[in-house]
Structure 1
Amino acid sequence: MGERMMDTEGQVIMPFYLLCDVSGSMVPDMRDLNNGISELHQALLSEPIINDLVMLSIITFNHTAQTVVPLAAPENITLPQLTASGGTEYGPALREFHQKFQADRARLKGEGKRVYRPCVYFLTDGEPNNKNYLKDFTSLITKEHNEAYPYVCAFGFRDATAATLQTVAYPNFGEQNKRGRYFIAKQSAKITELLTSMVGVLAQSILQSGHSAQAGAPVVAMPQPQAVSGMVGSFV
């Protein structure tokens, strides 16, 4: 199986999970976030050649978490209108992702698919109310405890800090040039422009990954540190 963790049946599927903070502090940004997610979806639909190779799921979180878009091919996705409320906790999002990916992986394998290692994009505008998420991260996400550990790329703005994002972007995926990445907003950046830039980078990452699978050599194309305008990116 190797470090890339790809199941060994038929057609390859590359799963991507977008974990979006929808706590109360995100209220002024929800229109931009909804528009950005719609643009991401349209970008994926614009390249039908990868429709059978990549799948996307969206999980929202505040003090709880829920899957609002189950993992599916772009053409089979219906986007909800996201709203914001509540506090900020990371643990529920990590637990929701882990539970859903385990079920998604079993379902896809049952359909004869080869499931590539998942990729998580984690988007937040603030610090969690406590550090309880670290226990969930260690037990559910890290490769020491999870054979199917995901690639992680974290994006933070407003009150999010680099120190916290580093704990979410897993530092060692066991492959050269596949360390975790995190992006933190520059103080001068406008949130509307940040979200637009982030969405463009996510679309590029997913599309490039899909094209690699279409070419027969699948690899997750993680965003480079300089990729997001208005943000400073770093490897963990």
Structure 2
Amino acid sequence: MWKPADGVQPVYVVVDESAEVGPYIGDLSDGVHQLHDALLRATDVAPAIRLSVLGFADQVTTRLPLEQVVAGSQSPWFTARGPASYANAFETLLDQIEPDIDALKAKNLKVLRPVVYLLSGSDPGADTAWASPYKRLVDRSSHRYAPNIVACGFGGAPAELIADIATQPQFGFVMKPDTDVHVAIAQYWRQLAQNVITSGRALISGTPELAPEPPAGFRLAREVV
């Protein structure tokens, strides 16, 4: 079982809510409910995880502030709206991560490096405005809480974009072209819950490691680009 001395793992789940993914918004909401429920059931792990859920489109909405998932906590949901702004997503993470981690440390908790799980279904096209805030977000020389980012793409999300966002080559996955999108999204959330719970149990065992497994129906983005 978790002890305060084990520390906590901050997890940010960042999900594309743009109009482009509108046909799948129900799948995305169902999936985040399943993640929330999985953490509620994993009573040995939930105290080790601090979960935040953000939805991004033209603006970013905090669907769940960084907190422990406990009985009675509200399960997040998503709403399709506007174009996707990856720049706003990374700017928001820059603004939120530092005060979140400082607040955890103020409680005398050991805090592991944050992990961002980003799920996207849209193509920013020629818009490269996201590159600058992204670099500031992940630059460990200037951002003391620079997160690891695990990126997954479905639908219109280009493999090159997902590969560029993932902070390690083995952290970027895209849906295989022969996979049904609704099925792929369901498989993503199933695997995400497993990855988060596995990392929590590794933390409790004293051997914290981030080794995300790809969802069924996905492959490494670097194999495509």
Instruction: Give me the TM-score of the superposition, normalised by structure 1.
Output: 0.86
Using the size of structure 2 for normalisation, the TM-score is: 0.90
Deviation for aligned residue 1:31: 1.0
| Number of residue pairs aligned between Structure 1 and Structure 2 | 218
Q: Which one has the bigger helix percentage?
A: 2
Which structure 1 segments of 5+ residues have no match? 1-8, 172-178
1:95 aligns with 2:91: yes
- Could you say which residue in structure 1 is the equivalent of 2:15? 20
Q: Please point out which of 126, 131, 135 is paired with 1:134.
A: 131
2:44 matched residue in structure 1: 49
Could you tell me how far 1:233 is from its partner in structure 2?
A: 1.9
Alpha-carbon spacing, 1:142–1:235, altered in 2? closer, same or farther (3 Å):
farther
Q: Deviations over 1:78-134 (max 9, x none)?
A: 123321010011011111112111111111111111110011111110112511100
Look up the equivalent residue of 1:207 and give its one-letter code.
I
Kept after mapping to 2: 8 A contact 1:181/1:235: no
Say whether residues 1:38 and 2:53 are aligned partners.
no
What is the SS of the residue equivalent to 1:140? helix
When structure 1 is superposed on structure 2, of 133-142 and 12-21 the one drifting more is 133-142
- 1:121 and 2:117 equivalent? yes
1:183 partnered with 2:178: no
Cα distance in 1 for partners of 2:136, 2:35 equals 31
Matches within 5 A, 1:1-236: 10-75=5-70, 77-129=73-125, 130-171=127-168, 180-223=170-213, 227-234=214-221
Q: Residues of 1 paired with 2:19 and 2:41: CA distance?
A: 33
Q: Return structure 1 stretches of 4+ with deviation > 4 angstroms.
A: none
Contact 2:139 2:146 in 1 (8 A): yes
Kindly indicate whether the alpha-carbon contact (under 8 Å) linking 2:21 and 2:122 is maintained by their aligned counterparts in 1: no
Q: Which 10-residue stretch deviates more, 28-37 or 134-143?
A: 134-143
Aligned-CA RMSD value? 1.8
Question: Distance in 2 between the 1:138 and 1:40 partners?
Answer: 29
Residues 12, 235 of structure 1: alpha-carbon distance in 2 compared, 3 angstrom cutoff: farther
Distance 1:81 1:158 in 2: 20
Gaps of 5+ in 2: none
Contact 1:98 1:140 in 2 (8 A): yes
Q: Amino acid of the residue matched to residue 100 of structure 1?
A: Q
Instruction: Determine if contact 1:51/1:74 at 8 Å carries over to the other structure.
Output: yes
Secondary structure at 1:126's aligned position in 2? coil
Percent identity between the aligned chains?
A: 25
Shift of 1:235: 6.0
Q: Distance in 1 between matches of 2:199 and 2:135?
A: 26
Checking the alignment, whether the CA contact within 8 Å between 1:152 and 1:180 is kept in structure 2 is no
2:143 alignment partner, SS class: coil
Distance in 2 of aligned mates of 1:97 and 1:235: 24
